[in-house]
């Protein structure tokens, strides 16, 4: 029987900012699902880091892209290390002209073993899937979003859900 999604918190960026944090994440679920909609407040895009518990550990991630809906027409890169799980977001002047939607799945976020994060991003008519290894044995109690070089635009949203076993 599948688990059930329970809303934990919804956050909307009120004005341009380079960072925001969701903290005090309850430890009563098995997994977390986060849905984010992002854009910068400038004409160019930016890289984004999501840092669990302040981002003191390096995450290793792999990515696979599919361009224009053509299977296998993308690239794969592996063994990149960042201070959080990483993806890019568009600017207001980028050709897509819209928000990037990202779905993050964090499994066993309360466990005492290292974490695995799977996340997907759709922007510029390209679907990118990522897998990240998060080397922390501490439960994840906060998530910080940090824009690498351009602020998040007002209206960006993050919705956090917990999954309980049915």
How many CB atoms are located within 10 Å of the residue 162 CB? Answer: 21
Please give the pLDDT value at position 61: 57
Please give the pLDDT value at position 46: 76
Please give the pLDDT value at position 66: 56
Please give the pLDDT value at position 1: 40
The residue count of the chain comes to 166
Q: How far apart are CA 59 and CA 55, in angstroms?
A: 9
For 83-114, letters b (16+ CB in 10 Å) and e give ebbbbbbbbeebeeeebbebebbbeebbeeee
Of 45, 47, 22, nearest to 33 by C-alpha is 22
Please give the pLDDT value at position 137: 81
Residues of the chain short of pLDDT 70, as ranges, are 1-3, 55-97, 122-127, 166
Q: Are 144 and 19 in contact (CB under 8 A)?
A: yes
CA angle at 88 for the pair 8 and 49, rounded to the nearest 5°: 55
Query: Which CATH number goes with the domain that contains 54?
Result: 2.60.120
Please give the pLDDT value at position 8: 95
Judging by DSSP bridges, how do beta strands 85-89 and 115-123 pair with one another? unpaired
Domain count, the chain: 1
Q: How far apart are CA 155 and CA 11, in angstroms?
A: 9
Q: Which domain holds residue 70?
A: 4-164
Strands (DSSP E) found in 4-148: 4-12, 19-22, 31-38, 46-52, 59-67, 76-82, 85-89, 100-107, 115-123, 126-134, 143-147
């Amino acid at each position: 029987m599948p688990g059930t999604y329970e809303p934990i918190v919804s956050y909307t960026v009120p004005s341009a900012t380079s960072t925001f944090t969701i903290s005090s994440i309850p430890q009563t679920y098995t997994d977390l699902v986060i849905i984010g909609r992002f854009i910068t407040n400038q004409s160019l895009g930016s890289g984004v880091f999501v840092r669990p518990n302040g981002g003191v550990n390096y995450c290793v991630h792999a990515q696979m892209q599919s361009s224009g809906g053509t299977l296998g027409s993308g690239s794969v890169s592996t063994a990149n290390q960042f201070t959080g799980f990483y993806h890019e977001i568009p600017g207001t002047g980028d050709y897509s002209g819209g928000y990037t939607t990202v779905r993050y799945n964090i499994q066993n976020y309360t466990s005492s073993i290292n974490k695995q994060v799977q996340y997907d991003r759709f922007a510029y008519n390209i679907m990118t899937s990522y897998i990240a290894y998060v080397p922390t044995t501490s439960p994840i109690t906060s998530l910080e979003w940090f824009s690498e070089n351009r602020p998040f635009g007002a209206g960006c949203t993050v919705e956090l859900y917990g999954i309980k076993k049915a």
